[in-house]
Structure 1
């Protein structure tokens, strides 16, 4: 396997590096030490043509100006926190509000917007990038000093493993995910509406007008949210279901997974033959179909528009701190936070 690095830009006078790993099959992963951003994932189609299957930019300035978390690790807490506030161990905490009245993805200076330290580990069948960051007590309003490690393991099986680890010196909240936008057509030749998705999930979480969980779990049976037999992404934007309409004609919903680490998610583009299998230790995945991607900028020469990508954000349910029946993201002193998500790329025959 080949590993290289180059300077990608600067943040506060410090260099930002891009790391590129290529396996013997020609698959390529590129990522930054800024926000752990995955900038490129280059994989073959059924004709052996290698193309990029994630949304991203070629300059740091574009990420800072336009990016809706393209490829980044978000945290301390992924998703929205209602009113940017929560109570923990009898103490009230106020977080910055960066989406209307709510706190989103760790705030304006969350993990997606900081420089991480990197350690490269080369082995015969894989290369690991260990990203580490110490989040000080009070950062973005959260309690506790948190030591975080995110490890990208890229191997000869065309797999990307992401391990998330954290410890804290006092009780706090931690819920991490990667926010890559996938488009298996390759180099954004088409939108994702004709992508087919399988999700092993019987229930999704209802959202309110602020896209926050109401706390209600809804059954997928008989709705456009039933992906158990696979269905096209386009079914959501075409649907008159109130939940599809609410989020801008599509999906931006947490789905509760029936099982873990057993091919519970599969995204396929029949035209190219590319398929992506996702396995996770997490209890849920937020499916976002890029319904509200703003226009007015280019993504590597392609004008931005809705439905250019699909996010599969494996995590604990959003805003769980306000819903005691959800799996919680409370991390206590002495506890170890660890989750794992696998992205495996395959090619389907015609």
Structure 2
């Protein structure tokens, strides 16, 4: 199934509703940081039953409500109901992750002849920017708009040396929602010194609804990639991309996640306790967005297509939830309760010269855009 066919199928299955005149953006307070600073929240709502709440801690997608095929709305983002959870046990729920998303081997890389280190927080490696990445800082809300497209823009200035990274990096995160049920996330960043950047969003999706006993392993996934990136037993890439043909990583046709996620015959599945790998959609960042994945929960009919300008897609099947995280409405999150689809550059790219570069120089603008085209099929 090619990309055009997938798109046509999704559009044909979309429930058509009469749009409202304008989408709305409302600001509120989600709580206070330990030092007393208020944490802003902005809820974007359209006329078709979709609403998204973004909080300033981690520039995070805290909730996303969408209707099923019977019109029943559910929150499809797992996370916490209150700020206390995000402070006590952060799990990257819906968060902006960076400066460098994904893993850096041993928290060390060489850049322009100098070795840099960033704190390790995932076994021997650094994950999502280190011990205090972009997900754990309070962003500033700089703009809130209602209109044909409702949006919120947040900013964070990461100082030179933050988590060991060179250069002062100024990053903007914009979330927008329109009347076509498109939720868009755009990241832009500039620097005053050469540095490395790879920013993404870590939304945890359960299209059956938060707390549903169905979890996410019944989701049907399509990924238009003929290669993926194998890793060692600490999830660091081996430096090559291999064909998905004949493997459990072949999602070129719609495939139920649970059918193969526990296939212990593949050592890659054993290493990650499921899927936690990079799919190669392209070889470079592109000027426009292209299809990254299509996800459907068959019982509710909820689904989305994910489009982005990035070459890589990190697909994580929620393998490390062990029943110790109590989330929204008191639900205990278990292995496989949600999935993550992160458009980005490739993991450990600062140490992998064959991978697309994560370098950003002064005068350039880093840009990662991702659009979730939400739909409900009957």
TM-score range for the pair, normalised by the shorter chain length: over 0.9
Aligned to 1:296: 324
Give the number of aligned pairs.
Answer: 348
Task: Give distance in 2, aligned partners of 1:210 and 1:262.
Answer: 30
Q: What is the alpha-carbon distance in structure 2 between the residues aligned to residue 199 and residue 152 of structure 1?
A: 24
Structure 1 gaps of 5+ residues are none
Q: Retained in 1: the 8 A contact 2:56–2:154?
A: yes
Partner of 2:308: 280
Matched, 1:200 2:201: no
Instruction: Indicate yes or no: 2:256 matched with 1:232.
Output: yes
CA deviation profile, 1:295-340 (whole Å, cap 9, x unmatched): 2232222212100000001100010111111001111122111121
Higher strand proportion: 1
* Equivalent residue, structure 1, for 2:96: 73
* Residue 38 (structure 1) aligns with: 61
- Who is 2:31 aligned against? 9
Shift of the alpha carbon at 1:258?
A: 4.8
* Match in the other structure for 2:128: 105
Instruction: Determine if contact 2:25/2:146 at 8 Å carries over to the other structure.
Output: no
Residue 49 of structure 2 aligns to a residue in which SS?
A: coil
**Secondary structure at the residue paired with 2:241?**
strand
Report the CA distance between 1:222 and its aligned residue: 0.9
Structure 1 distance, partners of 2:157, 2:82, is 26
Match of 1:246 in 2: 271
Residues 123-176 of structure 1: CA distance to partner in whole angstroms, max 9, x if unpaired? 421111111111110011100001111111111111111111111011111100
Structure 1 residue 178 and structure 2 residue 207: aligned?
A: no
Q: Residue 267 of structure 1 corresponds to which residue in structure 2?
A: 295
Q: Please state how far the C-alpha of 1:5 moved relative to its aligned partner.
A: 2.2
Q: Is contact 1:280-1:314 (8 Å) kept?
A: yes
Name the TM-score, length of structure 1 as normaliser: 0.96
- Between stretches 308-317 and 231-240, larger displacement belongs to 231-240
Q: Which residue of 2 is the match for residue 340 of structure 1?
A: 369
Q: Do the aligned partners of 1:53 and 1:188 also contact (CA within 8 Å) in 2?
A: no
Does the aligned pair in 2 maintain the 1:236–1:244 contact within 8 Å? no
Pairwise CA distance, 1:294: 3.0
- TM-score normalized by structure 2? 0.89
Q: Are 1:257 and 2:290 counterparts? A: no
Give matches, 1:15-26, under 5 Å.
Answer: 15-26=38-49
Q: Does residue 83 of the first structure (1) align with residue 103 of the second (2)?
A: no
CA distance in 1, matches of 2:242, 2:215: 28
Is the counterpart of residue 164 in structure 1 residue 187 in structure 2?
yes
CA distance in 1, matches of 2:361, 2:209: 42
Task: Name the CA distance, whole Å, in 1 between partners of 2:282 and 2:103.
Answer: 23
| 1:331 paired residue number | 360
8 Å Cα contact 1:236-1:251 kept in structure 2: no
Per-residue CA deviation, residues 187-240 of structure 1 (Å, 9 max, x unaligned), is 231211111000000000001011111112121001111000111111332312
Question: Where has structure 1 moved over 6 Å in runs of 4 or more?
Answer: none
Q: Aligned-residue CA RMSD in angstroms? A: 1.3
Displacement after TM superposition at 1:19 (Å): 1.2
Q: Which residue of the partner structure matches residue 156 of structure 2? A: 133
